[in-house]
Protein backbone atom coordinates (compact mmCIF):
# COMPACT_ATOMS: atom_id res chain seq x y z
CA UNK A 1 0.00 0.00 0.00
CA UNK A 2 1.32 3.43 -0.98
CA UNK A 3 1.04 6.11 1.66
CA UNK A 4 -0.33 9.35 0.28
CA UNK A 5 1.40 12.65 1.01
CA UNK A 6 -0.94 15.13 2.68
CA UNK A 7 -0.57 18.86 2.35
CA UNK A 8 -1.34 20.30 5.81
CA UNK A 9 -2.60 23.55 4.25
CA UNK A 10 -4.90 21.84 1.73
CA UNK A 11 -8.05 22.34 3.80
CA UNK A 12 -7.33 25.91 4.84
CA UNK A 13 -8.72 27.50 1.68
CA UNK A 14 -7.51 30.67 0.02
CA UNK A 15 -7.29 33.76 2.17
CA UNK A 16 -8.01 36.88 0.07
CA UNK A 17 -6.07 39.00 2.57
CA UNK A 18 -2.86 37.83 0.87
CA UNK A 19 -3.92 39.90 -2.13
CA UNK A 20 -3.25 43.10 -0.18
CA UNK A 21 0.44 42.50 -0.81
CA UNK A 22 1.56 44.01 -4.14
CA UNK A 23 4.34 41.45 -4.66
CA UNK A 24 1.88 38.59 -4.19
CA UNK A 25 -0.57 40.14 -6.65
CA UNK A 26 2.22 40.55 -9.18
CA UNK A 27 3.23 36.91 -8.73
CA UNK A 28 -0.36 35.69 -9.30
CA UNK A 29 -1.35 38.06 -12.10
CA UNK A 30 0.04 36.37 -15.22
CA UNK A 31 -1.13 32.87 -14.26
CA UNK A 32 -4.54 34.15 -13.17
CA UNK A 33 -5.04 35.97 -16.44
CA UNK A 34 -4.04 32.92 -18.50
CA UNK A 35 -6.57 30.82 -16.58
CA UNK A 36 -9.21 33.53 -17.03
CA UNK A 37 -8.72 33.66 -20.80
CA UNK A 38 -8.94 29.85 -21.12
CA UNK A 39 -12.09 29.80 -18.98
CA UNK A 40 -13.73 32.60 -20.97
CA UNK A 41 -12.83 30.80 -24.22
CA UNK A 42 -14.48 27.63 -22.89
CA UNK A 43 -17.60 29.64 -22.02
CA UNK A 44 -17.54 31.40 -25.41
CA UNK A 45 -17.75 34.81 -23.73
CA UNK A 46 -17.38 37.99 -25.78
CA UNK A 47 -14.63 40.50 -25.09
CA UNK A 48 -17.23 42.91 -23.67
CA UNK A 49 -18.44 40.21 -21.26
CA UNK A 50 -14.87 39.45 -20.22
CA UNK A 51 -14.20 43.13 -19.59
CA UNK A 52 -17.37 43.40 -17.48
CA UNK A 53 -16.41 40.41 -15.34
CA UNK A 54 -13.00 41.99 -14.73
CA UNK A 55 -14.67 45.17 -13.47
CA UNK A 56 -15.46 47.02 -16.69
CA UNK A 57 -11.88 47.34 -17.87
CA UNK A 58 -11.26 48.87 -21.33
CA UNK A 59 -11.18 46.46 -24.29
CA UNK A 60 -7.65 47.56 -25.14
CA UNK A 61 -6.48 46.65 -21.64
CA UNK A 62 -8.13 43.24 -21.90
CA UNK A 63 -6.40 42.51 -25.22
CA UNK A 64 -3.04 43.57 -23.77
CA UNK A 65 -3.50 41.30 -20.74
CA UNK A 66 -4.80 38.41 -22.85
CA UNK A 67 -1.58 38.58 -24.91
CA UNK A 68 0.37 38.04 -21.68
CA UNK A 69 1.36 41.65 -21.07
CA UNK A 70 0.17 41.73 -17.46
CA UNK A 71 2.24 43.50 -14.86
CA UNK A 72 0.04 43.42 -11.76
CA UNK A 73 -3.70 42.94 -11.44
CA UNK A 74 -5.57 44.71 -8.68
CA UNK A 75 -6.92 42.88 -5.67
CA UNK A 76 -10.43 43.37 -7.06
CA UNK A 77 -9.51 41.88 -10.43
CA UNK A 78 -7.80 38.85 -8.87
CA UNK A 79 -10.81 38.26 -6.61
CA UNK A 80 -13.13 38.48 -9.62
CA UNK A 81 -11.03 35.90 -11.47
CA UNK A 82 -11.01 33.68 -8.37
CA UNK A 83 -14.80 33.80 -8.05
CA UNK A 84 -15.22 33.01 -11.76
CA UNK A 85 -12.79 30.09 -11.45
CA UNK A 86 -14.85 28.80 -8.52
CA UNK A 87 -17.96 28.91 -10.70
CA UNK A 88 -16.11 27.11 -13.48
CA UNK A 89 -14.88 24.40 -11.11
CA UNK A 90 -18.31 23.99 -9.57
CA UNK A 91 -19.92 23.55 -12.98
CA UNK A 92 -17.29 20.98 -13.92
CA UNK A 93 -18.20 19.04 -10.79
CA UNK A 94 -21.94 19.27 -11.49
CA UNK A 95 -21.99 18.41 -15.18
CA UNK A 96 -20.26 15.47 -16.85
CA UNK A 97 -20.20 16.99 -20.29
CA UNK A 98 -19.14 20.36 -21.63
CA UNK A 99 -22.39 20.77 -23.54
CA UNK A 100 -24.44 20.48 -20.36
CA UNK A 101 -22.25 22.96 -18.52
CA UNK A 102 -22.43 25.50 -21.30
CA UNK A 103 -26.16 25.01 -21.84
CA UNK A 104 -26.89 25.64 -18.13
CA UNK A 105 -24.53 28.61 -18.03
CA UNK A 106 -26.01 30.33 -21.10
CA UNK A 107 -29.71 29.43 -20.58
CA UNK A 108 -32.28 31.74 -19.07
CA UNK A 109 -32.96 30.88 -15.45
CA UNK A 110 -36.06 32.03 -13.58
CA UNK A 111 -34.76 31.27 -10.09
CA UNK A 112 -34.54 34.31 -7.82
CA UNK A 113 -30.75 34.63 -8.20
CA UNK A 114 -31.05 35.18 -11.95
CA UNK A 115 -34.49 36.81 -12.40
CA UNK A 116 -34.95 35.52 -15.95
CA UNK A 117 -31.35 36.03 -17.03
CA UNK A 118 -28.72 33.39 -17.69
CA UNK A 119 -25.92 32.87 -15.17
CA UNK A 120 -23.55 34.28 -17.81
CA UNK A 121 -25.64 37.45 -18.07
CA UNK A 122 -25.81 37.81 -14.29
CA UNK A 123 -22.02 37.54 -14.05
CA UNK A 124 -21.55 40.27 -16.63
CA UNK A 125 -23.70 42.84 -14.90
CA UNK A 126 -20.40 44.08 -13.52
CA UNK A 127 -20.87 44.02 -9.77
CA UNK A 128 -18.91 41.83 -7.42
CA UNK A 129 -22.24 40.85 -5.84
CA UNK A 130 -23.35 39.46 -9.23
CA UNK A 131 -20.34 37.17 -9.35
CA UNK A 132 -20.88 36.08 -5.75
CA UNK A 133 -24.58 35.38 -6.46
CA UNK A 134 -23.72 32.97 -9.27
CA UNK A 135 -20.95 31.37 -7.22
CA UNK A 136 -23.26 30.87 -4.22
CA UNK A 137 -25.94 29.36 -6.46
CA UNK A 138 -23.51 26.89 -8.05
CA UNK A 139 -22.06 25.99 -4.66
CA UNK A 140 -25.59 25.41 -3.37
CA UNK A 141 -26.40 23.11 -6.29
CA UNK A 142 -23.44 20.93 -5.50
CA UNK A 143 -24.03 20.96 -1.75
CA UNK A 144 -20.90 22.92 -0.87
CA UNK A 145 -20.77 25.35 2.01
What tens digit of pLDDT does each residue of 51-63 get? 999 999 999 999 9
pLDDT in tens, 82-133: 999 999 999 999 999 999 999 999 999 999 999 999 999 999 997 999 999 9
What are the structural domain ranges in the chain? 21-141
Q: In this model, does residue 5 exceed pLDDT 70?
A: no
DSSP-assigned letters across all residues of 11-79: TT---GGGGGSHHHHHHHHHHHHHHHHHHHHHTT--HHHHHHHTTS--HHHHHHHHTT--S---HHHHH
pLDDT in tens, 10-21: 445 556 677 888
User: Side-chain half-sphere of 95: how many Cα atoms within 13 Å?
Assistant: 15
**Could you give the angle at the alpha carbon of 77 between the alpha carbons of 117 and 115, nearest 5°?**
10
Beta bridge partners of 117: 109
User: In angstroms, rounded to a whole number, what is the distance separating the alpha carbons of residues 130 and 114?
Assistant: 9
Share of the chain above pLDDT 70, in %: 88
Amino acid sequence: MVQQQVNPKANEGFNPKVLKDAATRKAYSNTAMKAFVRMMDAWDMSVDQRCAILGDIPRQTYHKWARGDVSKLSRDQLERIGIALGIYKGLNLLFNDEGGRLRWFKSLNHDYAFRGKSPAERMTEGGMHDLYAVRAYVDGLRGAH
